[in-house]
Structure 1
């Protein structure tokens, strides 16, 4: 009898707790930039000491994995293929791949949430572990959950310091790059 109750509990757990995996692949910077679902970083550089411009980059290949129990998302993990970051500037991308992110040695950047996310409209702050290269740090993300038709849309924002992750300064002789980078993302979750 105990065996049957364990089997029934396992079946119910499988039915009500669904594991979801979403893989995103984009062919180009523009396709990633124009997508409703995205992962992006943004920062600024100052050229010749007085001309400040912003730049951004998009991930073109990443996975979002989580367990869903009704309106609760848990065990959230985002895994980004570091060779898929694209700033729409091939010389900047080449330096980013080779000397900044060292993509051959560190092929993924990984975020794992410490918190559950409830699919209710509003703003919430969560924390999680972000691994860039060999450094893992706890970061905070501000999430905005919106109801859009038959799905929820989650927008997220976090700010990181490259120095905190032992990422080499990407500055060049004529342009100094700000250490602070904003990470933003958007993801749709079906109701």
Structure 2
């Protein structure tokens, strides 16, 4: 092998560390459609067994870190402060932070993506760490690489029971066990 080939192999396999802190000033300004980096979730509640309505939430702050090279992004960790989650309803947020997710004892939710190949589209299994326990989570993922930037989008769903998250239902309203989520991240 000549030196040029070795140099090209070295550059293409070298990974550069990155860390991005994402913060939105308000629920409305943190919409999925208007931001390059966003995390949102949805579910439904049924009141008095009659009226079913959907509700959503967003991560107002989160951190993305990992390593990126010309071929893949690896060792990606997304850290979401529990207090950075919002449903835009203070009573529901307070219950989510303190009673359901126990913010004092478990202040963060983490997602770990071992490897995301650039120009990938398919299902990946990632790890989620929530309430002090790790679980596998299937995510439909798309990754594109353009101009030195990686755009990762994904979606999926999870069961509160499977992740051992306490049921947030109250006497007059039950909450569906399945939560849907989507996210996107522009890694620069």
Please give the range of the TM-score, normalised by the shorter of the 2 chains. Answer: 0.7 to 0.9
The match for 1:157 is 155
The match for 1:137 is 135
* Pairs within 5 Å for 1:1-191: 16-33=14-31, 34-114=34-114, 116-120=115-119, 123-146=121-144, 151-190=149-188
Alignment deviations for residues 111-153 of structure 1 (CA, whole Å, 9 cap, x no partner): 1123x21221x52211121011122111111112356777443
CA spacing shift, 1:176–1:65, aligned 2, 3 Å: same
Gaps of 5+ in 1: 1-8
Q: CA deviation at 1:165?
A: 2.0
> In structure 2, the residue corresponding to 1:66 is in which secondary structure?
strand
TM-score normalized by the length of structure 1: 0.85
Q: CA deviation at 1:57?
A: 0.7
Alignment deviations for residues 88-113 of structure 1 (CA, whole Å, 9 cap, x no partner): 11110011111001111111001112
TM-score normalized by the length of structure 2: 0.86
CA spacing shift, 1:148–1:72, aligned 2, 3 Å: closer
Equivalent-residue separation in structure 1 for 2:110 and 2:127 (angstroms): 8
Higher helix share: 1
Equivalent-residue separation in structure 1 for 2:94 and 2:43 (angstroms): 17
Equivalent-residue separation in structure 1 for 2:121 and 2:18 (angstroms): 23
Alignment deviations for residues 3-56 of structure 1 (CA, whole Å, 9 cap, x no partner): xxxxxx9xx68x931011111011111111242310111111111212111111
Equivalent-residue separation in structure 1 for 2:167 and 2:161 (angstroms): 8
Superposition RMSD in Å = 2.1
The number of residues matched between the two structures is 177
> In structure 2, the residue corresponding to 1:102 is in which secondary structure?
coil
